[in-house]
Structure 1
């Protein structure tokens, strides 16, 4: 035993060992591809090749690529195909050696002549490569694709290098738009650009939203600085004009930290403006891709469904050699050796939600503790967007890359101890940072909330009681592989039914108090309003109470009446909480097990109302969470850090063609194609593994069913062609 320990210390430390620093492991991950799907095959490895398989020839690849695309949309213009000889290693070296033995004059002459005279000696290709080359030439002549400037690699040896920039046809806008997909170096990044462009409603909506955001930030900062620096509020009661209360050269008299804040804001604002301006070209390229390739213009992008975009992307899979369904013969012909990447509805959702799928499972399994014991109140849960940003900052660039892929270093069990210690330190540092930035965030949130909602609340006081799902409830409701815009649409559909459900419980005591307050405030407001009709000029300046005029009290009474009257139920309502809660559950797909057969109870109503709170209470909780966030982060720096590291390691799988994924994101619809219910594959015979590895509240089953329902329309035409019944929409709920 002693000799083995001594020997282990003398031997070199294995990569990813516990004694290796976590930051050394992170730097090691940064030096290699983020995913195994992006790694190259060694040059000495030859792909499997079946000489007798007539289906695995480049002709089939070409025909499949032309089935849904225009002639210019070929997979041949991919830069990974152009640079194949360079990264394969052998091709470029042999080409240089043999070209040096051939006189330059012969090479130039062979380039000009159409015959075979003067060409350098060539290695005779095998029969399959010759057949593939002949088929490629025939396709070029028949469909007139690429011409002489084609970037498809040739089997003949020439002096032309493979490191030139890919050829982009300038005459055809469709070819230029198709170039975005065929030359996408990262499929994840390209799909994210497509989704963000779709979710933000096109190029003009994006540009307008960014311009308004920049102007809003400039106005809020300038207006807040003006109100706090350039006005002498002591002179306001005795002054009659703005010039009398203005402080001359106010910024020169301002403290140093205000001038420093202005300096920092100007730098931030200018850098953000430069970033937005430099991104305009990319946005218009994506506009051309949607218009010319997917057939969706900016006028229809707000009404077209995401399924339509996914269907168009799936049809383009043969235009990129990384996603094309080619055989071994085609892979050798185009000299592409990377693993095949999938392109379907499930893989697109997996790539777009690599990191969010982990968060959905993390919140479902209650890995982190957001509760805090308070005196006289007990244990209470605090969660907000600010706390969510802090947790995300602790995990990004540590567990995850910035692109959302999980680091291989973070899922190696040999690194568990050092990962736990590092995560604990990151939580503690985030707690200290929260203490520093809490005052700034509190002031910023209060100013933004006041500017945004003051006019709305004064014009319509009933908006004060408007409700919304809390940030923590959103993570509880969100499903695996559910994109953000689809999730927000589901919440908006559930909101009217949720409001009706909360009105179903009789509140006799509260209703009586609200009726009394509404009666008193309405009576006072009516008297003041009638008095102003007789003599408006005299009464508007009349002080009902010392220092308070009739206008002030009239405004207050109208506001109180609006709030009290808005809380009263309709006199013709019929209370049926079970029916209305079932309507809510149809959209949120979230029903804890202890809710079963208890939908009518007040306990269920209390739990649901905690998930669906008034917006004003959500804002107050957001402010309070800025104060208690450091304590919550410190509480999670203990055993929760160990559970978090174990969670990422145990729930990560590698899927061929996609890469590292959360285990719950792999639905596996093809495990049993004859099963009537796709969720049957998730159930274990004894159910023991589900207690530890499964999700709560039937989250996995609901996610699969919702995904199938959302994307089932992609095969609607195919089912109709086979004689199946067309999809029938469910009947609408009677209003």
Structure 2
């Protein structure tokens, strides 16, 4: 059997260098060695030499198939997409059909422009026959080709080149994902038919185990959950940090309208091209920032170079603007035309904006985790936005609906009486327009059963989105707050309009707004990039270091009141922040990201300072619940109890939280006593029933079936914190530790909502 020989060279006071040689057909590589003696069980695998070399002998074959993967970022990203997109067949089928769709759009558009005789179709040309057939409308192929001008041929040539490049990309992806398929089937032992039955968390656990055998990463013996997240989300973490620090120019001031946020798919694509993966980007590969960007004396030179590159990309966007604009029209028309025709009210529905998805995203939060949070916040967000109605617009909308509806019903009755009415010119068009008008103005007419409760609804939204400015507190009823929420939760019609005009606005933003931020961007990469062993260069915010990037108002001075000896005497555990306004993340994003990552990855071993922070938070929440169990009026426990109204899945969570606390309290009160002490009797009774009827060993599985499929693990030892995170929100955890008791109880009692927790404060 072939064997792989690995030689590690250790130099005093230096990290091990990596080199590659070929000896007797075997592959040799270097990895860091800390100089410590290995366990006896590893003596046959690693033999420290006096010369500073360590020789690793690894069997080849299947176990070495994925040994030393050079670009782990791309590999782990493809793994994640493979799992989320349901495997090889679905992914390749989707890409192939997108190629077919592109051919259809180009061919059908050309056909409509040059191969249809519209004078015959609209009966503007006299015909010998009384009835027009399809063959009369379609021109012969020779006439079609003759009618095509130079512009059409240029567009077809560009489209053909683009299609060929897409085809090559699909073939390349096919080979890549076939390798991922083999990795899932052979290394992870996951068959394609079982892919949908496993969560990403379970797949990730297997990857960590496989690393010990395959040694995909040679720089670290063991991978952690954070290492995998770093590699998948390396560039997204940078984007989230830039949005959090208001570095990217996405805010525009328009006369009369005021300040708006403009972030479209095209603009985001150009920014990522310039900053991450383009030929002139600051990154020389997927995992390493160019060395010049780490040098202070190069900042002015790099800023000028980046500014020039931004200008050229803006000019290219301007030159291609007509072509891109035409493509946007075709794409939106074919993609949304039928939906709008069938359901005109679709334009009045809301969706999370692209900016909102970046602003609300935690560091190290995968797409499916973000989607799950925002999906839970969708309904309360829609209700919150719909309660704001203008009395003037309501009166106008009702009268417009009356007039348009009257005309439409008369036309419908006439059509039922005699179908020849449809042949009258513009009758069908008029009916379509009237239907669209009615569907549109209905958005301005409030529901007659609507209850005005903006604070309650906004708090329900924030329980899942987690972030809000201080200006929203107590002002949920104002138009200013609604306008700011609308920037995150926009109308679909606004989204389509922004995407349509994006080719026109993007060159302006690049040339006149983003260029001015070139020096700030260079400074950002230098100041907020750190090198992590075995991972490469990552955004320092993604390390979730509460000491370096934490907000002072989030630190554990309040938790110290519960155990001064533990949290104050030891400076390491005191968590005193070393950050300032420039280095700290806004809106408590560092702390919330740490809490979220800890809860979704309970096996992860955080650094001591992060572990102390979470421990202080856990202790504060536990004391809040315990005080409620011992008969004190406790808003946290009351809100936990009222979660029962949200559904059976939440009952399991509440029961698990309360039981986990009561089990640790010998001689504590009985469930019936606790229930009798709480105000919301009907809600608490449901939680009490669950407490009495469900066994402790069943609860974690019940929680997992209800909530875990999309977001991650539930473990008994961490059920307390995880239950809070799933049932209420990460934000409520932060509120329970860092908000005064008076604020906490006022928000909860007034709103009488299970998720009525204050959220983050701005540091301004």
- Taking structure 1 as the reference length, the TM-score comes to 0.69
Quote the offset at 1:189 in angstroms: 3.0
Aligned residue in 2 for 1:708:
598
Does residue 109 of structure 2 align to residue 224 of structure 1?
yes
Q: Is the 8 A contact 1:341 1:658 kept in 2?
A: no
Q: 1:466 aligns with which of 324, 344, 349?
A: 349
Instruction: Map 1:408-557 onto structure 2 (within 5 A).
Output: 408-536=291-419, 538-541=420-423, 543=424, 547-549=425-427, 551-557=428-434
1:289 and 2:179 correspond? no
Aligned to 1:184: 69
In the alignment, which of 133, 148, 157 is matched to residue 241 of structure 1? 133
User: How far apart, CA to CA, are the structure 2 residues paired with 1:584 and 1:504?
Assistant: 14
What is the DSSP-based 3-state SS (H/G/I as helix, E as strand, rest coil) of the residue aligned with 2:531?
Answer: strand
1:256 to 146, 150, 172: 150
1-structure distance, mates of 2:474, 2:7:
57
Pair 650,81 (structure 1): closer, same or farther in 2 beyond 3 Å = farther
Is 1:389 the counterpart of 2:269 in the alignment?
yes
The correspondence for 1:599, drawn from 476, 480, 483, is 476
Shift of 1:684: 9.7
Structure 2 equivalent of residue 10 of structure 1? none
For residues 329 and 291 of structure 2, the distance between their equivalents in structure 1, rounded to whole angstroms, comes to 42
Cα offsets for 1:663-696 (capped at 9, x unmatched): 1111259999x98899999999887833111111
Residue 298 (structure 1) aligns with? 192
SS at match of 1:653: strand
- 2:220 corresponds in structure 1 to 340
Structure 1 portions without partners, runs of 5+ = 1-39, 49-77, 89-127, 138-150, 155-165, 169-174, 324-337
Q: CA contact under 8 A between 2:310 and 2:515: conserved in structure 1? A: no
Report Cα offsets for 1:311-356 as digits up to 9, x if no partner.
Answer: 1112223113465xxxxxxxxxxxxxx6436511111111111111
Of 226, 232, 235 in structure 2, the residue corresponding to residue 355 of structure 1 is 235
1:9-408 → structure 2 map (5 Å cutoff): 43=9, 45=11, 153=57, 167-168=60-61, 175=62, 179-238=64-123, 240-248=132-140, 249=142, 250-302=144-196, 304-321=198-215, 323=217, 339-340=219-220, 343-378=223-258, 380-395=260-275, 396=277, 397=279, 398-403=281-286, 405-408=288-291
- What SS does the corresponding residue of 1:401 show, helix, strand or coil? strand
Partner of 1:18: none
Distance 1:312 1:615 in 2: 40
Match of 1:584 in 2: 461
Deviation at 1:292, TM superposition (A): 4.2
Cα contact 1:342–1:658 (8 A) shared by 2: no
Q: What does the per-residue CA deviation read over 1:498-545, in whole Å, with 9 as the maximum and x for residues that have no partner?
A: 111112234322222222222222222222222222223x3333x4xx
Once the two structures are TM-superposed, the CA of residue 213 in structure 1 deviates from its matched residue by 0.7
Structure 1 residues 486 and 405: CA distance shift in structure 2, 3 A = farther
- Contact conserved, 1:82 with 1:153, CA < 8 A, in 2? no
Question: Greater shift after overlay, 439-448 or 569-578?
Answer: 569-578
In the alignment, which residue of structure 2 is the partner of 1:658? 535
* Residues 246 and 473 (structure 1), Cα distance of their counterparts in 2 relative to 1, 3 Å cut: same
| SS of residue in 2 equivalent to 1:340 | coil
CA distance in structure 2 between the partners assigned to 1:723 and 1:384 by the alignment: 39
Q: Does 1:695 align with 2:588?
A: no
For 2:455 and 2:274, the matched residues in 1 are separated by: 42
User: Secondary structure of the equivalent of 2:66?
Assistant: helix
| Stretch deviating more after TM superposition (474-483 or 270-279) | 270-279
Shift in CA distance, 684/216, structure 1 to aligned 2, threshold 3 Å: farther
Relative distance call for 1:526 and 1:304 in structure 2 (3 A) is same
1:463 CA drift (Å): 1.0
- Aligned-pair RMSD on alpha carbons? 4.1
Pair 650,725 (structure 1): closer, same or farther in 2 beyond 3 Å? closer
> Aligned residues, how many?
575
SS at match of 2:538: strand
2:502 and 2:567 map into 1 onto residues whose CA distance is 38
The one-character-per-residue Cα deviations of 1:103-122 (angstroms, maximum 9, x if unpaired) are xxxxxxxxxxxxxxxxxxxx
Q: TM-score, normalised by structure 2?
A: 0.67
Aligned CA distance change for structure 1 residues 650 and 465 (closer, same or farther; 3 Å): same
Cα distance in structure 1, aligned partners of 2:573 and 2:586: 13
Q: Is the contact made by 2:714 and 2:722 (CA closer than 8 Å) also made in structure 1? A: no
